[in-house]
């Protein structure tokens, strides 16, 4: 049976975009201030989950909502289950957008919105791939379970809860449409380590507060410090620093204190070299003044050691594995307040085989810190061999549809593909694509979404026929 999956996608183009727009219009950022029993991560993620399940119900799938943590729908029957794992939550929009991040806008063939690339756009491309199989009535011998979560961008508590309470068996194999083609069959380990600082704040210059970063898996776009005391030629030195390092800045005076802001560029925490970490740049600038105590230690670590140390070399934790590549480090969240006893810097590590969170922690404890603690949630390195039929099938479909050679990839990003022992990430970004995940003006190329939908349709069919 020969099926033109690209033509089938084209017939459904407008419907696909309409459904996608309805999801993108929902601000599904996690908001713990509004979280409750009915909204475990705030109302936004729940609203997006409900909309997705509503679309599935409209199309005739049986659905299940697992207490607003996650949900799924199923199609087909069989002893084996193919799991598809996607997510409806998004990282904070942040600033610097040219359009409203929750008013999806197509311009020059690009669809701009928070979530267009990560992960609502790929999710709907994959959803329509399965929808084509259903509407054409293609014969299949396995069950497909399409699962969407609401906390992928934070701690994956959605999936912890889902697997414990969904009442269904774990899929035998599967993929997540949340990365890039041709395939991601390996993912580095992922852990956040927190540096703790404490002690009496003193010195001729005084650091009152220092804040930067929204999430551990985002490069801080900007950071702000409130300072006072001996700060000779603060304005002139700040202007010279901004010129030297090509960053923007803001300076304001407030009640005998100065509010200093450095503005860099956000990026995905798995690719910290793609951003400009406003927090480490601000710390580097402030280091020249006469701070003392924990403020001095805090700024020295942030501005001298962490500054552009994307591989952990200055930290002394650099490590490379022949297959999985090098460790990466993102200094993601900075919180200093002289009125509290515990001040922190959150370092997010993507590490390959051959090292561990505990080994990294032991090295970090040698810094000028009072303690180093680990996040409760983390992931160990994950790899599915090229010989696995799942990997081989997905690469074969990719090659057939694109004419490009498939190959394995290992990334620092963490996807739901690693939820399963035989799980990978598959699309939706194509080679040489501009990655705007976790950045301002995030976009998905509309034609690429259509190409991805056709690949997903054929890939799902080949896996379950």
Q: What is the pLDDT of residues 92-121, one digit of tens each?
A: 998 899 999 999 999 999 999 999 999 999
What average pLDDT does range 243-248 have in this prediction? 97
pLDDT band at 377 (very low <50, low <70, confident <90, very high): confident
pLDDT tens digits, residue range 193-230? 999 999 888 899 999 999 999 989 899 999 999 999 99
Q: Are residues 221 and 102 in the same domain?
A: no
Does 91 have pLDDT greater than 80?
Answer: yes
Q: Are residues 392 and 283 in the same domain?
A: no
Per the CB < 8 A criterion, the answer to whether 453 and 9 are in contact is yes
Q: Are residues 166 and 179 in the same domain?
A: yes
Does 136 have pLDDT greater than 80?
Answer: yes
Contact residues for 129 (Cβ-Cβ < 8 A; gap 6+):
5, 9, 453, 454, 455, 456, 457, 458, 459, 460
Last residue of a domain, one of 312, 347, 374: 374
Q: Are residues 177 and 234 in the same domain?
A: no
Q: Are residues 365 and 388 in the same domain?
A: no
- The CATH number given to whatever domain includes residue 338 is 3.30.70.360
* Count: domains in the chain: 2
Q: Are residues 347 and 452 in the same domain?
A: no
Q: Are residues 321 and 419 in the same domain?
A: no
pLDDT tens digits, residue range 156-183? 999 999 999 999 999 999 999 999 999 9
Contact residues for 452 (Cβ-Cβ < 8 A; gap 6+):
122, 125, 126, 177, 181, 427, 428, 430
Q: Are residues 354 and 398 in the same domain?
A: no
Per the CB < 8 A criterion, the answer to whether 179 and 429 are in contact is yes
pLDDT tens digits, residue range 31-55? 999 999 999 999 999 999 999 999 9
Structure tokens at 214: 């929204």
pLDDT tens digits, residue range 137-152? 999 999 999 999 999 9
Structure tokens at 2: 């020969």
The pLDDT score that the predictor gives to residue 255 is 87
How many other C-beta atoms are found inside a 10 Å radius of the C-beta of residue 372? 18
Structure tokens at 171: 């899929």
Last residue of a domain, one of 315, 339, 374: 374
Q: Are residues 452 and 326 in the same domain?
A: no
pTM, 2 dp: 0.80
What average pLDDT does range 379-401 have in this prediction? 96
The pLDDT score that the predictor gives to residue 1 is 62
- The CATH number given to whatever domain includes residue 125 is 3.40.630.10
Q: Are residues 183 and 197 in the same domain?
A: no
Query: If you average pLDDT over every residue of the chain, what do you get?
Result: 96
Per the CB < 8 A criterion, the answer to whether 69 and 157 are in contact is yes
What average pLDDT does range 342-351 have in this prediction? 97
- Residues serving a catalytic function are 89, 152
Last residue of a domain, one of 356, 374, 392: 374
Domain extent, residue 420, equals 5-188+381-464
Q: Are residues 180 and 51 in the same domain?
A: yes
Closest by CA position to 296, among listed 199, 379, 228: 199
Q: Are residues 182 and 197 in the same domain?
A: no
């Amino acid at each position: 049976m020969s099926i033109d999956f690209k033509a089938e996608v084209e017939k459904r183009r407008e419907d696909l975009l309409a459904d996608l727009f309805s999801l993108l219009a929902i601000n599904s950022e996690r908001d713990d201030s509004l979280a409750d029993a009915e909204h475990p991560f705030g109302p936004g993620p729940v609203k997006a989950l409900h909309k997705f399940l509503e679309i599935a119900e409209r199309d005739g799938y049986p659905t299940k909502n697992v207490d607003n943590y996650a949900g799924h729908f199923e199609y087909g029957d069989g002893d084996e289950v193919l799991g598809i794992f996607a997510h409806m939550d998004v990282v904070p929009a942040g600033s610097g957008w040219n359009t409203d991040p929750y008013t999806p806008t197509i311009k020059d063939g690009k669809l701009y919105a928070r979530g267009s690339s990560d992960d609502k756009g790929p999710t709907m491309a994959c959803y329509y791939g399965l929808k084509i199989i259903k509407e054409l009535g293609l014969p299949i011998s396995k069950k497909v379970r399409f699962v969407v979560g609401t906390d992928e961008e934070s701690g994956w508590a959605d999936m912890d809860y889902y697997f414990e309470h969904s009442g269904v068996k774990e899929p035998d194999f599967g993929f997540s449409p949340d990365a890039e083609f041709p395939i991601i069959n390996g993912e580095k380990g992922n852990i956040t380590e927190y540096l703790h600082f404490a002690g009496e704040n003193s010195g001729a210059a005084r650091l009152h507060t220092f804040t930067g970063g929204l999430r551990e898996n985002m490069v801080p776009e900007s950071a702000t410090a409130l300072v006072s005391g001996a700060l000779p030629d603060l304005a002139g030195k700040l202007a010279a620093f901004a010129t030297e390092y090509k960053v923007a800045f803001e300076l304001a005076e407030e009640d005998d204190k100065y509010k200093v802001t450095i503005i860099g560029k956000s990026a995905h925490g798995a690719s910290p070299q793609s951003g400009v970490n406003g927090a480490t740049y601000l710390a580097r600038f402030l280091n020249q003044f006469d701070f003392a105590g924990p403020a001095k230690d805090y700024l020295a670590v942030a501005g001298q050691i962490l500054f552009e140390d994307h591989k952990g070399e200055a930290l002394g934790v650099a490590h490379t594995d022949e297959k999985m590549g090098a460790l990466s480090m993102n200094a993601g969240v900075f919180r200093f307040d002289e009125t509290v006893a515990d001040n922190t810097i959150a370092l997010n590590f993507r590490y390959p085989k051959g090292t561990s969170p505990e080994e990294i922690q032991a090295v970090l404890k040698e810094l000028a810190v009072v303690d180093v603690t680990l996040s409760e949630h983390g992931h160990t390195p994950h790899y599915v061999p090229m010989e696995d039929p799942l990997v081989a099938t997905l690469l074969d479909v990719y090659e057939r549809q694109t004419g490009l050679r498939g190959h394995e990839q290992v990334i620092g990003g963490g996807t739901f593909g690693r939820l399963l022992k035989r799980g990978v990430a598959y699309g939706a970004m194509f080679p040489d694509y501009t990655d705007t995940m976790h950045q301002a003006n995030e976009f998905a190329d509309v034609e690429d979404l259509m190409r991805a939908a056709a690949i997903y349709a054929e890939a799902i069919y080949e896996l379950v026929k």
